Structure 1
């Protein structure tokens, strides 16, 4: 399980955007908070928003048949929570639950997609950040599932079939 960079919320996703783009995106932000042990979204539900974590941590999980949810990654301050809002069919690929109280900036997806459509430079910058997040989540999920399903005593060689 990996954790996204901690530290102040000025790091991570927002720091990856040029100041001009960051300001335009933040004009759409809404301050929100979640208590600890709160389900934010479920795998397979409609993804119509995303969050940038300001404080606290959120566990991302995948449903494993016969085993229930398996945590694949945690997202902390500065991290992006949710990317499924960007790509059709816009359904959550993972579930998310707070580990402790969380403060975040919440963004409705439709206005952000409109902003990106009208400002291609901002859109490219944001899509690049989201693509990096998708890659990180894919690697974390793969590693976690290998840990769950790898026979005891087997060692990963790092080579494929």
Structure 2
């Protein structure tokens, strides 16, 4: 099934965009899915797209001494997956693994950056939204790492 304006309008991340703005996003979006347990991307790899999770869950993880892949956050639909495509050097800052079959709307990063340049008002609006997502992710990661540090100290005291 092809992505439509109506499909995009249902996504909370895109709420409030005009029909015209949504119509500019339609050709850059496609429906896709990730199977459970599959790695979507690895920290440090090239970042060339992002996804809106429409159904399912994804673990955001990172490399951390003493852990294989330290889970920072679990994203549940509806959620944005991937912000690193937006800023140079276009490398993933975290990793991601699908918890179980996860349905997404996929967007091509380089084409989105070109759209943002050709339509600066849309670019500003969506960049602002991505920055909010990034701020929330940073806060969650800091809290998760602090919890892990407290747990480690507690185990050392026992």
Cα deviation, residue 65, structure 1: 1.4
State the partner residue of 1:152.
154
Deviation above 4 Å: which 4+ runs of structure 1?
A: none
State the partner residue of 2:104.
104
Q: 1:12 to 1:72 in 2, by over 3 A?
A: farther
Q: Which runs of 5+ in 2 are unaligned?
A: 1-8
Alignment partners' CA distance in 2, 1:135 and 1:18: 25
Structure having the higher helix fraction is 2
| Alignment check: 8 A CA contact 1:59 1:96 kept | yes
Alignment of 1:7-22 (within 5 A): 10-15=10-15, 17-22=17-22
Partner secondary structure for residue 13 of structure 1: helix
Q: 1:96 to 1:35 in 2, by over 3 A?
A: same
State the partner residue of 2:117.
117
**Can you list the C-alpha shifts for 1:57-89, whole angstroms capped at 9, x where unaligned?**
111011111222111112222211000000111
TM-score by structure 2 length?
Answer: 0.85
Alignment partners' CA distance in 2, 1:77 and 1:17: 20
Alignment partners' CA distance in 1, 2:148 and 2:21: 40
Question: Are 1:138 and 2:121 an aligned pair?
Answer: no
Q: Indicate the RMSD between aligned Cα atoms, in angstroms.
A: 1.6
Cα deviation, residue 16, structure 1: 5.2
Q: Which runs of 5+ in 1 are unaligned?
A: 1-8, 154-161
Partner secondary structure for residue 46 of structure 1: coil
| Alignment check: 8 A CA contact 1:14 1:78 kept | no
**Can you list the C-alpha shifts for 1:16-71, whole angstroms capped at 9, x where unaligned?**
53443223113310111111111000001000111111111111011111222111
Compare relative contact order (CA 8 Å, sep 6+) and give the higher one, 1 or 2.
1
**How many positions carry a matched residue from both structures?**
145
Q: 1:82 to 1:48 in 2, by over 3 A?
A: same
State the partner residue of 1:39.
39
Partner secondary structure for residue 52 of structure 1: strand
